[in-house]
Amino acid sequence: MDNNANAKGGKEVRISISAEKLMHALLTVYRAVPPRTPLPILTGILFETKENMLYLTATDMEQSIRTFAPATVEEPGSAVLPAREITELVRRLHEVSIVKIETDGQTNTTVISYAQSDLTLHGFSPDEYPSMPETPRDTLVTLPQKLLRKMLKQVLYAVSTEEHRPVFTGVLFEFTNDNLNLVATDTHRLAMRTTPLEKQPNQLINVIVPGKTLNEMSKLLVQEDSDVSIYINENQIFFILNDIQIVTRLLAGKFPNYNLVIPQNTSCDVTVNTKELLEAVDRALLLSTPRRQTVFLQMQDNTMTVFFNAETGRIREDLQVEINGDQLDIGFNGKYLTDALKTVDSETVTFQFTGSNTPALIKPVGQSDYISVLVPAIPQKNN
Amino acid sequence: MDNNANAKGGKEVRISISAEKLMHALLTVYRAVPPRTPLPILTGILFETKENMLYLTATDMEQSIRTFAPATVEEPGSAVLPAREITELVRRLHEVSIVKIETDGQTNTTVISYAQSDLTLHGFSPDEYPSMPETPRDTLVTLPQKLLRKMLKQVLYAVSTEEHRPVFTGVLFEFTNDNLNLVATDTHRLAMRTTPLEKQPNQLINVIVPGKTLNEMSKLLVQEDSDVSIYINENQIFFILNDIQIVTRLLAGKFPNYNLVIPQNTSCDVTVNTKELLEAVDRALLLSTPRRQTVFLQMQDNTMTVFFNAETGRIREDLQVEINGDQLDIGFNGKYLTDALKTVDSETVTFQFTGSNTPALIKPVGQSDYISVLVPAIPQKNN
């Protein structure tokens, strides 16, 4: 069959759309396009028309993002365009208002016209593009976008990046009658944020959601006064944010019983100015090397002394703090300590210690819905 | 000899200085600290007191930067402190106003005290630090900082980064009776900027200044109403910018006769909107790959068509232009074309062509003090 000769006979798609709306939609779904994939079609974005709307979809087979924008549909249909090229083109159309998209369904070739110019792109057959799962009928729960973004920020730093223990690369979403708890841990630290639910969820369920998807999603949770609705089926979770739908596979496996890790009966409580401690640790880490990362804290006489010793020198910072309980010396990985402090909004933070070799509890003063746990560093020699 | 026991007996240096002024001085000289060096002492910054001033110096043996700041000198002397650690510390002293620096001259150990904290750093002996050359007595020429920064920006992009042909890694400073000409070329393109001299220089001389130093210096040319004075000795050039002195070795060798490269008797002049062409080339380069970088321009009937062909697709942009002369097709490396257009301030730019295989001249319309020359790309097959 001669594709070129019959091209005009193939199914055509023809749409016009605002360059700005198209750019916004492309940048949204582009987050789901895999940087590397053995399946070439996944480097494309699916364009589909539906009445006077253009739907865009991208997926890496684990997670999918879909959105839509109003368009003038002259000939309905679908096409798969190379994601990088179409997105980069539309980002660079600074003074163009309308973009015309024409696809020849037989050759999968698309011509994008703007002003007096055009780009011709070779795409893929939309028939080969993976289909999106059906959204379940009933909403599990609805939350303000702003709240979910905040909650995610407070736990995502504790997610593991080590792929060989999959459950630790996700965030536990624990739905109880009254609360939603988000929990993440990489075994060195744990973060837990809870929020009361206005309406009881339609299922009491625990699921583990991949951190990677939540990271991308949190960048899309930017509509201040809008909600996000969460739906769940057997092995997927759906987040609906106005015109954006994000679906991801749930992680299989059992999340550890995190309550066992949270220290009880602490013997020394220390309350310190969050910013002062963050800055002191930041300076102490000046002298750190990839192999030497442990910052030592010494609690005595209402002073917390931050120490760091290295070959190049040593640093000592004294902070005025409030100590209730025994004197204590403890060492933490400086980066983990910094990560935990950065998610704290409150002016002061309380450390609750049970000993020099046991996990410490970190609580923002005046906020009972967030805690983090930090395992001390194994003491190094010559320190 | 027991260094520790005798430490107190060694020469001590003691100074106090504003944290902000010290930060500014450190960030200035840090530009000359080599990222890698076989000589450990060059990873340090030389601190020297002189009356009520602290002088800081850094060098990589090719180029040096020196600056000074007012300080309270309790015990005069000199010290060499590790550059990265001292600079990073002072950058992170957000709410500290005064820093105290105390060096033990026998152990070369420095204690930097601030607020209730201190950093101890092991440094080097100032006796081993290379000495700075004497500034020549007579100024060669003085220019406004703003003008020199602009001139450098217009030529530095054409400097070669290939170390095996040293003269091309520098900028020619050509002092004539009336003008200073700056010229740079990497043999694929050439840029030349000229400026009239108010006062005749004390020597008519051509020197080649390393592009690397000029790049760093142009970032320091930020004092809008100040001048920079230029001095020259046998093998070095000195730039004095208020409180900053930059010295660099001149490059040996003969700069090519650039006048031979500048096209004469052009057969086709094309005037085009600078921003429109830049944006069109930028979009065309979307489809570029490391091996395919050539953008084709076709001049015909007062239209410049910008073409790019690749495996993934093709782009065609039409620009309204003014053509005087013959029709012409020509190809350029897209990045080189972009670099040349980015240094043009004027709304329109004129291309003067002599043929498809010979260098083209690029001139901003209405500005006679700046030109660039671009060698066409060797035609690729299958384009």
Task: Report the residue from B116, B117, B283 with minimal CB separation from A89.
Answer: B283
Please give the backbone phi and psi of residue B239, each rounded to the nearest 5 degrees, phi first: -115, 125
Partner-chain contact A312 B121, CB within 8 Å: yes
A300 alpha-carbon distance from chain centroid: 39
Higher pLDDT, A137 or B272: B272
Amino acid symbol at A136: P
Residue B379's pLDDT band, with cuts at 50, 70 and 90, is low
**Per-chain mean pLDDT for chain A:** 93
What is the percent of chain B where pLDDT is above 90?
Answer: 86
pLDDT attached to residue A266? 86
Helix (H) or strand (E) holding B134: none
Please give the backbone phi and psi of residue A62, each rounded to the nearest 5 degrees, phi first: -95, -50
List the one residue out of B148, B147, B191 whose CA is nearest residue B364.
B191
pLDDT at A74 over 80: yes
A92 alpha-carbon distance from chain centroid: 27
Tokens at B136, concatenated: 């020549």
Per residue in B139-194, pLDDT tens?
A: 999 999 999 999 999 999 999 999 888 999 999 999 998 999 999 999 999 999 99
pLDDT attached to residue B266? 86
Tokens at A325, concatenated: 């309980």
Instruction: Kindly report the nearest CA distance between residue A96 and chain B, in angstroms.
Output: 12
Partner-chain contact A119 B82, CB within 8 Å: no
- What contacts B56, CB < 8 A, 6 or more positions away? B25, B26, B28, B29, B45, B46, B47, B48, B66, B67, B68, B69
pLDDT at A379 over 90: no
Query: Residue A122: its chain B contacts at CB < 8 A?
Result: 311-313
Helices (H) and strands (E) in chain B, counts: 7, 26
Sign of CA dihedral B178, B184, B189, B195: negative
Going by the DSSP 8-state scheme, the letter that residue B287 receives in this structure is: G
Q: What are the distances in angstroms from CA B16 to CA B8, B51, B100, B121, B210?
A: 20, 13, 4, 17, 36
Average pLDDT for B236-260: 95
Please give the backbone phi and psi of residue A243, each rounded to the nearest 5 degrees, phi first: -95, 10
User: Which residues in B294-347 belong to E strands, given as ranges?
Assistant: 294-300, 303-310, 313-320, 322-325, 328-333
B326 near A CB under 8 A = no
Query: Residue A85: its chain B contacts at CB < 8 A?
Result: 286-287, 312-313
Tokens at B192, concatenated: 């030349």
A90 alpha-carbon distance from chain centroid: 25
State the Cα–Cα distance between residues A1 and A4, nearest whole angstrom. Answer: 9
Average pLDDT for A310-322: 95
Q: Write the ipTM.
A: 0.85
Q: What is the pTM of this model?
A: 0.89
State the Cα–Cα distance between residues B277 and B362, nearest whole angstrom. Answer: 13
B376 near A CB under 8 A = no
A121 near B CB under 8 A = yes
List the one residue out of A113, A139, A161 whose CA is nearest residue A17.
A113
pLDDT attached to residue B72? 97
Q: What is the DSSP string of A350-373?
A: EEEES-TTS-EEEEETT--SEEEE
pLDDT at A180 over 70: yes
**In three state form, how does the secondary structure of A232-298 look?**
ECCCEEEEEECCEEEEEECCCCCCCCHHHCCCCCCCEEEEEEHHHHHHHHHHHHHHCECCECEEEEE
Give the best residue of B95, B117, B118, B320 to mutate against chain A (max A CB count within 10 A). Answer: B117
Task: Report the residue from A117, A122, A280 with minimal CB separation from B316.
Answer: A117
pLDDT attached to residue B320? 96
Partner-chain contact B118 A282, CB within 8 Å: no
Average pLDDT for B311-319: 94
Per residue in A138-179, pLDDT tens?
A: 899 999 999 999 999 999 999 999 988 899 999 999 999 899
Average pLDDT for A220-239: 94
pLDDT at B224 over 80: yes
Domains and CATH numbers, chain B: 3-128 (3.10.150.10), 141-258 (3.10.150.10), 262-374 (3.10.150.10)
Please give the backbone phi and psi of residue A126, each rounded to the nearest 5 degrees, phi first: -65, -20
Average pLDDT for A215-238: 94
Query: Residue B119: its chain A contacts at CB < 8 A?
Result: 283, 286, 313-316
Partner-chain contact B283 A121, CB within 8 Å: no
Query: Residue B315: its chain A contacts at CB < 8 A?
Result: 117-120
Query: Residue A116: its chain B contacts at CB < 8 A?
Result: 317-319
B342 near A CB under 8 A = no
How crowded is residue B292: how many other Cβ atoms within 10 Å of its Cβ?
15
Query: Residue A286: its chain B contacts at CB < 8 A?
Result: 85, 88-89, 92, 119
Tokens at B124, concatenated: 């080097």
Residue B3's pLDDT band, with cuts at 50, 70 and 90, is very low
Per residue in A247-287, pLDDT tens?
A: 999 999 999 999 998 998 888 999 999 999 999 999 999 99
pLDDT attached to residue A6? 35
State the Cα–Cα distance between residues B197 and B143, nearest whole angstrom. Answer: 8
Q: Which residue has the tokens 């009445």?
A: A51
Query: Residue A317: its chain B contacts at CB < 8 A?
Result: 116-117
State the Cα–Cα distance between residues A140 and A237, nearest whole angstrom. Answer: 10
Give the best residue of B116, B282, B285, B305 to mutate against chain A (max A CB count within 10 A). Answer: B116
pLDDT at A378 over 90: no
pLDDT attached to residue A346? 96
Coil, strand, or helix at residue B6?
Answer: helix
Q: What are the distances in angstroms from CA A52 to CA A15, A68, A75?
A: 9, 10, 11
Task: Report the residue from A122, A315, A317 with minimal CB separation from B312.
Answer: A122
Task: Report the residue from A92, A282, A287 with minimal CB separation from B282.
Answer: A92
Provide the b/e sequence for B123-148 (b: ≥16 CB within 10 Å): bbebeebeebeeeeeebbbebbbbeb
Torsion of CA A23, A28, A29, A34, to 10 degrees: 110
What is the percent of chain B where pLDDT is above 70?
Answer: 96
Average pLDDT for B318-336: 95
Q: Which residue has the tokens 């232009």?
A: B321
